């Protein structure tokens, strides 16, 4: 394996890590942001919904931009904007709603560009490697999320002002990501004009199954992040302290599953890993719905982390394989459904819980995740490619890194 590929993989993994930390620092301190700016309970959902909506706009914009600009450049400059927007969200004064609205708006738009460009580079780098490495990038994201959530807990525990919590993180990550961006690798030199459909086209009818899988995976993920604590406390009767544990357990098992997942893809194939992850995730929701007490519920959330963690990375990878001549455009469009699932998942589960029961509500994401089994063939790899017990020989030119742009 060549040095440019190794450096490109390490620098991109760090970008995923930084994004995981930044996102966790924002979402875990939403109550503090609400208090600092005096955002009412009625207005808060509007602010929260605006972020994924604008992220979707950012992803659509990225699809157009990569026709003219390499994804490495978009990632290089969108990541600092995300970090600075995070800092701005914590630096405003009491009652400055316009300031926090602008900060969150910039955060949402730049996150959409960042997520899309990161996964574009991940897909193209995996193609250059000739074997599955996509899960390792998302494992770095999970690790960043754990670190960010831990730092957020420390800031809340010590009652630090938001900007005091955010400033050291931004001061470390911003220059580090800029330095790391020097070694981003955009992909094979044989494919420089294939972006955005110039050397191919994305047929949405073929991409739709992967879009549905992405949506359902994020409905499952948002169910855990938004409802696990409430479910354990109100339905399973746990203490308030114990109710904070399931999401941490979920994040750790997500990290473990993604760290090991690439080995499973290389040995058994992507479709088999996706099927197994789907069944484990569905089993996790079933255990949560039927749990007689908090500790059994905790087991269910553990299974959810191990199952759901493989779906999103493999969905991006499958889009790249499905449209090798327009993988950037496919990834950008697919990335929109990340935010669709995030946007509708929590309200959907809450509405079913209020109208019926929260135990019953846990069956809804279970059924949706199981739909992935219907589309598992979309993840299959062709003979002689990674994931089928074979790996492509490492002879391809890795193309130009971002320094050569």
Report the C-alpha gap between 135 and 340 in whole angstroms.
22
- Among 348, 368, 374, 385, smallest CA distance to 129 is for 385
Tokens (6 digits) for 386:
């990674």
pLDDT of residue 187: 66
Q: Judge whether 226 and 345 are in contact, CB under 8 Å.
A: yes
Domains and CATH numbers, the chain: 1-181 (1.20.1250.20), 197-383 (1.20.1250.20)
SS3 185: strand
pLDDT, position 382: 56
Q: How many helices (H) and strands (E) does the chain have?
A: 16, 0
List of residues 6+ apart from 193 with CB closer than 8 A: 199
* pLDDT confidence of residue 188: 55
In this predicted structure, what is the pLDDT of residue 392?
A: 45
* Residue-by-residue DSSP string for 306-372: HHHTTHHHHHHHHHHHH-TTSHHHHHHHHHHHHHHHHHHHHHHHHHHHHHT-HHHHTHHHHHHHHGG
Please tell me the distance from the alpha carbon of residue 26 to that of residue 316, in angstroms, as a whole number.
24
Q: Which residues pair with 185 in a beta bridge?
A: 401
Predicted TM-score (pTM) of this structure: 0.89
Along the 405 residues of the chain, how does pLDDT read in single tens digits? 578 899 999 999 999 999 999 999 998 888 889 888 998 888 988 888 999 999 999 999 999 999 999 999 999 999 999 999 999 999 987 878 999 999 999 999 999 999 999 999 999 999 999 999 999 999 999 999 999 988 988 888 898 999 999 999 999 999 999 999 999 998 653 343 333 333 468 889 999 999 999 999 999 999 998 889 889 989 999 887 788 788 888 999 999 999 999 999 999 999 999 999 999 999 999 999 999 999 999 999 999 999 999 999 999 999 999 998 899 999 999 999 999 999 998 899 999 998 999 999 999 999 999 999 999 999 987 544 444 443 444 433 333 343 333
């Amino acid at each position: 394996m060549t040095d440019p590929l190794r450096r490109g993989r390490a620098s991109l993994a760090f970008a995923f890590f930084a994004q995981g930390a930044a996102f966790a620092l924002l979402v875990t301190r939403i109550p503090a942001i609400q208090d600092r700016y005096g955002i009412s309970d009625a207005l808060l959902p509007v602010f929260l919904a605006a972020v994924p909506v604008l992220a979707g706009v950012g992803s659509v914009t990225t699809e157009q931009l990569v026709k003219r600009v390499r994804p490495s450049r978009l990632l290089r400059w969108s990541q600092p904007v995300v970090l600075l927007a995070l800092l701005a969200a914590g630096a405003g004064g009491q009652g400055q709603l316009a300031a926090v609205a602008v900060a969150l708006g910039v955060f949402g738009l730049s996150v959409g560009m960042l997520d899309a460009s990161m996964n574009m580079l991940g897909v193209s780098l995996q193609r250059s490697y000739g074997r599955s490495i996509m899960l390792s990038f998302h494992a770095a994201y999970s690790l960043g999320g754990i670190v960010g959530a831990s730092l957020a807990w420390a800031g809340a525990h010590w009652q630090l002002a938001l900007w005091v919590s955010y400033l050291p993180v931004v001061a470390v990550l911003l220059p580090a990501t800029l330095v790391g961006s020097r070694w981003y690798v955009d992909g094979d030199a044989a494919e420089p004009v294939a972006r955005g459909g110039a050397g191919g086209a994305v047929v949405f009818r073929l991409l739709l199954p992967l879009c549905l899988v992405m949506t359902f995976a994020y409905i499952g993920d948002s169910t855990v992040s938004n409802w696990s604590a409430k479910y354990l406390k109100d339905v399973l009767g746990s203490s308030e302290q114990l109710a904070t544990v399931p999401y941490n357990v979920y994040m750790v098992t997500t990290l473990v599953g993604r760290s090991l997942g690439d080995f499973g893809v290389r040995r058994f194939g992507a479709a088999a890993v996706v099927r197994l992850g789907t069944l484990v995730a569905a089993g996790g929701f079933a255990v949560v719905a039927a749990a007689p007490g908090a500790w059994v519920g905790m087991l269910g959330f553990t299974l959810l982390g191990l199952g759901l963690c493989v779906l999103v990375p493999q969905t991006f990878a499958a889009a790249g394989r499905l449209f090798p001549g327009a993988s950037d455009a496919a990834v950008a469009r697919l990335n929109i459904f990340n935010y669709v699932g995030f946007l509708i998942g929590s309200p959907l589960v809450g509405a079913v819980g209020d109208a019926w029961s929260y135990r019953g509500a846990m069956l809804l994401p279970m059924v949706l995740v199981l739909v992935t089994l219907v589309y598992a063939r979309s993840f299959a790899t062709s003979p002689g490619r990674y994931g089928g017990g074979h790996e492509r020989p490492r002879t391809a030119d890795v193309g130009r890194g971002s320094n050569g742009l």
